């Protein structure tokens, strides 16, 4: 009997111990990320071939204290290496750990290699080669608490490498972790009883392949051509061949059986192709079917009678708060799908975000903590109720769904705000409005309503609130909204809003795609496309609603110019209000394409209402054309790579206004707006022109709580320019080329 050590991912120790006992181990003892066991050479061979859970099977050769590099060398050199290999074999050393004497694993591996080579050189007058990629013998050294454990690696490559994975997708599960999840979920028993295995987000098919190998009694190492013991001097080839032939016979018998239904689905056709390639390489293409299909299109197979089964999956979980918020609907949909299509089945889900697991809205039977690589993860098991039990649970949940204290406080503020706005909303017919705008500083979000869709933007929290507390508040925001608006629980969009640099306001956000993110909304007679997921802003500035109404009235029969036009919502209102013609200018192709779609929604004539891609600063400096109404709504600051100049609205607004008024027709009006909260109009502007601050009248009731959302002025030239005693004479000079001042 020999002593052995089997390593495994953290959290799988108990499962591995049970598996090794079933293979023939004695005196099993658990430790972190591994199991000690006693067994014969036959046991070790069977463990390498049949263990679905282990990473490596190690034969310990020596253990000794290491207080110096010489201690390491001497300890390794004392091992009788001639009993295990000859100079004709190549070697590699895996060194793990460090102490005060051995601070680098590469140095430790070098000293171990030197000791082995010197030992063999002294005995045979010859030395083995080093082959780090494909050695004949692999030596494992683990250094911890000043003790070194030296072992012969019977596995060679890690045992999770079964040999069938030829095609990869992002973030795959390792094969031994996938097998462990299936064992935890009770798949061996379910398969024995004829139950089905379904993965609605199958990726490269690892869970399906491991499930089929379990059901067909296929040894996980059967496709491997080489193990670490093949180069060992004491290798018993006859014993190994007998064990492997037995596994081949069991595989043939297993594949001859009628296996349970095993199916996978994925909306990504590339993932499906990868899965099909891996399944074929595993020789299981007749046992596993994989279909390109979105998760929510899944229906339980009806071509055969399936009374029970296991639905198992590894859904994405995100890393940042914003990613996780985008994924909440996915988990909600998964829970609903499982209940609807597979009542009475078992559901198993692994995720690196335990909070997202709560979005399944199911009560877990069991939860296990484990590691997916280096990621702490939770594996949850759910026994899905039949339809009658589900209906009873829903009734209980409706009667008993208390909110946390913070969520209750936030919900009460939303109800208070909604009550204040109710009368105005009914009278005005407004369907897109702001319900909440950081009214309570600790809940630093803006909540906008677009019909039955809710758009939440997170601001930077106050400095005295740490990130953990801020995330707690954001969770309470979500809970409150789902409680108050259950019909919109799947139409919640969360977005992180920070100060933008350069042209980042024009870039798509790195969010998970949402099918319901783009919708058409109404504002009076106008229709607008809004996008609640892909960009920082939705495409419709709700605070400018009164400004757009005013422009629609002012532009009737007039020539209208919209500078920094964004998605041209103001132009649409001007055109529907009867504008004679319009020109809308922006430098973003994305926003101009968006504006085209808005024009199309409202049947605007593109010959009369034109769009132009240009840098508004450069275009204004040239000063072409004449317009009766001009809307100038520049960003606060911009140093976009698409612009040759730099814009600072506080510094540059006098020049912008001068150049805009230079192309304003006599009697015309410039509507000047910006959203810089500390903005102050220069006195020189009021000295030159008729300036009226109309900010208060451009705020509807939904923005009365935050009156710094924007600033707005009406600006006109003096009616009688000959009576201004030269006050405006510089306006009539040819405008010069715009130049950036400062960095």
| Residue 353 and residue 360 in contact, taking contact as beta carbons nearer than 8 Å | no
503-518 mean pLDDT: 54
502-528 mean pLDDT: 69
Question: What pLDDT, on a 0 to 100 scale, did the predictor assign at position 347?
Answer: 98
Select 528-732's CATH number: 3.90.230.10, 3.40.50.150, 3.40.50.20, 3.90.1570.10: 3.40.50.150
**Six-digit token pair at 373?**
């690589």
Answer whether residue 578 shows pLDDT above 80. yes
Which of the four pLDDT bands, split at 50, 70 and 90, describes residue 742?
very low
Answer whether residue 728 shows pLDDT above 70. no
In 3D, which of 219, 218, 215, 233 has the Cα closest to residue 159? 219
Angle at 183 between CA 180 and CA 188, to 5 degrees: 145
- Portion of the chain with pLDDT greater than 90, in percent: 77
How many residues does this entry show for the chain?
A: 743
Question: What pLDDT, on a 0 to 100 scale, did the predictor assign at position 392?
Answer: 55
Question: What pLDDT, on a 0 to 100 scale, did the predictor assign at position 500?
Answer: 43
Handedness of CA 563, 567, 571, 573 (dihedral sign): negative
**Runs of H (alpha helix) within 555-668:** 569-576, 589-601, 616-622, 649-662
Answer whether residue 325 shows pLDDT above 60. yes
Answer whether residue 730 shows pLDDT above 90. no
pLDDT tens digits for range 420-455: 999 999 999 999 999 999 998 889 999 999 999 999
Give the residue range(s) of CATH 3.30.750.80 domains in the chain: 405-498
pLDDT tens digits for range 350-384: 999 988 999 998 989 999 999 998 899 999 999 99
Q: Flag the least confident range among 398-407, 410-419, 578-587, 614-623.
A: 398-407
Question: What pLDDT, on a 0 to 100 scale, did the predictor assign at position 393?
Answer: 54
- Please state, in angstroms and rounded to a whole number, the distance separating the CA atoms of residues 417 and 436: 7
**Runs of H (alpha helix) within 400-460:** 405-428
Question: What pLDDT, on a 0 to 100 scale, did the predictor assign at position 390?
Answer: 55
Which of the four pLDDT bands, split at 50, 70 and 90, describes residue 509?
very low
| Residue 651 and residue 681 in contact, taking contact as beta carbons nearer than 8 Å | no
DSSP code for 487: G
Question: What pLDDT, on a 0 to 100 scale, did the predictor assign at position 604?
Answer: 97
pLDDT tens digits for range 87-126: 999 999 999 999 999 999 999 999 999 999 999 999 999 9
Pairing mode, strands 432-437 and 637-638:
unpaired
**Six-digit token pair at 116?**
């082995």
| Residue 88 and residue 36 in contact, taking contact as beta carbons nearer than 8 Å | no
**Cα end-to-end distance, the chain, whole Å:** 77
DSSP code for 130: B
Question: What pLDDT, on a 0 to 100 scale, did the predictor assign at position 428?
Answer: 94
Answer whether residue 711 shows pLDDT above 80. yes
Question: What pLDDT, on a 0 to 100 scale, did the predictor assign at position 301?
Answer: 83
- Please state, in angstroms and rounded to a whole number, the distance separating the CA atoms of residues 497 and 462: 14
Question: What pLDDT, on a 0 to 100 scale, did the predictor assign at position 642?
Answer: 46
Residues 6+ apart with CB under 8 A from 32: 10, 13
* SS percent in the chain: helix, strand, coil, step 5: 40, 25, 40
Question: What pLDDT, on a 0 to 100 scale, did the predictor assign at position 723?
Answer: 41
CATH class of 2-153: alpha beta
pLDDT tens digits for range 57-76: 999 999 999 999 999 999 99
Sheet containing strand 559-563, edge to edge, reads: 609-613, 581-586, 559-563, 627-632, 664-674, 711-716, 690-693
Answer whether residue 268 shows pLDDT above 50. yes
Which of the four pLDDT bands, split at 50, 70 and 90, describes residue 307?
confident
Residues 6+ apart with CB under 8 A from 483: 401, 403, 407, 411
Give the residue range(s) of CATH 3.30.2130.30 domains in the chain: 2-153
Question: What pLDDT, on a 0 to 100 scale, did the predictor assign at position 708?
Answer: 86
Taking phi over 0 as left and psi of -120 to 50 as alpha, with beta for the rest, 647 belongs to: beta
Q: Find tokens 């690589």 and name the residue.
A: 373
Give the residue range(s) of CATH 3.40.50.150 domains in the chain: 528-732
- Please state, in angstroms and rounded to a whole number, the distance separating the CA atoms of residues 685 and 478: 46
Looking at the structure, give the CATH architecture of the domain made up of residues 405-498. 2-Layer Sandwich (3.30)
Answer whether residue 401 shows pLDDT above 70. no
């Amino acid at each position: 009997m020999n002593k052995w050590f089997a390593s495994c991912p953290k959290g799988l120790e108990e499962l591995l111990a049970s598996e090794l006992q079933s293979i023939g181990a004695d005196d099993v003892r658990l430790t972190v990320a591994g199991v000690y066991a006693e067994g014969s050479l036959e046991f070790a061979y069977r463990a390498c071939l049949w263990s679905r859970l282990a990473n490596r099977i190690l034969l310990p050769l020596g253990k000794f204290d290491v207080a110096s590099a010489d201690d390491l060398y001497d300890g390794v050199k004392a091992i009788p290496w001639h009993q295990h290999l000859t100079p004709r074999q190549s070697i590699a050393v895996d060194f793990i750990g460090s102490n005060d004497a051995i601070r680098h694993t590469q140095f430790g591996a070098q000293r171990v290699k030197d000791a082995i080579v010197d030992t063999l050189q002294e005995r045979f007058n010859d030395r083995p080669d080093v082959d780090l990629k494909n050695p004949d013998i692999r030596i494992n050294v683990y250094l911890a608490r000043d003790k070194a454990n030296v072992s012969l690696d019977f596995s060679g490559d890690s045992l999770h490498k079964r040999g069938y994975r030829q095609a990869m997708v992002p973030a795959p599960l390792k094969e031994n972790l996938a097998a462990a999840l299936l064992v935890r979920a009770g798949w061996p028993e379910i398969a024995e009883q004829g139950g089905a295995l379904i993965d609605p987000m199958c990726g490269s098919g690892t869970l399906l392949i491991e499930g089929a190998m379990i059901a067909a009694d296929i040894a996980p190492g059967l496709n491997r051509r080489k193990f670490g013991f093949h180069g060992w001097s004491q290798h018993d080839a006859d014993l190994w061949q007998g064990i492997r032939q037995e596994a081949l016979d069991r595989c043939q018998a297993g594949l001859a059986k009628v296996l349970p239904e095993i199916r996978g689905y994925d909306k990504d056709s590339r993932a499906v192709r990868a899965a099909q390639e891996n399944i074929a390489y595993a020789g299981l293409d007749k046992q596993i079917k994989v279909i390109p299909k979105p998760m929510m299109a899944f229906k339980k197979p009806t071509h055969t009678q399936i009374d029970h089964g296991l639905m198992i999956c590894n859904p994405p979980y995100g890393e940042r708060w914003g990613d996780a918020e985008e994924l909440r609907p996915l988990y909600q949909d998964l829970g609903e799908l499982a209940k609807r299509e597979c009542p009475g089945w078992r559901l198993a889900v692994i995720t690196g975000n335990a909070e997202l697991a709560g979005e399944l809205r199911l009560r877990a039977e069991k939860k296990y903590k484990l590691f997916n690589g280096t990621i702490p993860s939770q594996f949850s098991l759910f026994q899905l109720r039949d339809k009658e039990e589900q209906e009873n649970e829903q009734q209980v949940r409706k009667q008993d769904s208390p909110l946390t204290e913070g969520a209750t406080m936030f919900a009460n503020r939303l109800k208070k705000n909604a009550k204040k706005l109710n009368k105005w909303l009914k009278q005005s017919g407004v369907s897109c409005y702001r319900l909440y705008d950081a009214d309570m500083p600790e809940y630093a979000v803006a909540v906008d309503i677009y019909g039955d869709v809710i758009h939440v933007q997170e601001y930077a929290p106050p400095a005295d609130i740490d990130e953990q507390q801020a995330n707690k508040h954001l969770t309470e925001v979500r809970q409150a909204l789902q409680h108050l608006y259950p019909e919109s629980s799947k139409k919640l969009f969360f977005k992180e809003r920070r100060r933008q640099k350069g042209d980042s306001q024009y870039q798509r956000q790195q969010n998970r795609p949402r099918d319901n993110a783009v919708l058409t909304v109404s504002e009076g007679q106008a229709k607008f496309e809004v996008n609640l997921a892909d960009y920082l802003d939705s495409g419709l500035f709700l605070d400018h609603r009164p400004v757009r109404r005013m422009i629609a009235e002012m532009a009737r029969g007039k020539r209208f110019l919209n500078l920094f036009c964004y998605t041209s919502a103001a132009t649409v209102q001007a055109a529907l209000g009867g504008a004679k013609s319009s020109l809308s200018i922006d430098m973003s192709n994305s926003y101009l394409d968006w504006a085209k779609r808005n024009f199309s929604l409202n049947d605007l004539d593109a010959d009369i209402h034109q769009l132009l891609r240009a840098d508004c600063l450069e275009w204004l400096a040239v000063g072409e054309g004449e317009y009766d109404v001009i809307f100038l709504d520049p960003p606060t600051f911009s140093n976009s790579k698409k612009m040759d100049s730099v814009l600072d609205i506080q510094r540059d607004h006098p020049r912008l206004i001068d150049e805009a008024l230079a192309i304003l027709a006599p009697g015309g009006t410039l509507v000047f707006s910006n959203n810089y909260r500390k903005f102050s109009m220069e006195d020189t502007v009021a000295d030159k022109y008729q300036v009226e601050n109309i900010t208060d009248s451009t705020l509807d009731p939904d923005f009365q709580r935050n009156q710094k959302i924007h600033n707005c002025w009406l600006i006109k030239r003096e009616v009688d320019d000959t009576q201004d005693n030269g006050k405006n004479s510089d306006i009539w000079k040819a405008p010069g080329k715009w130049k950036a001042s400062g960095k």
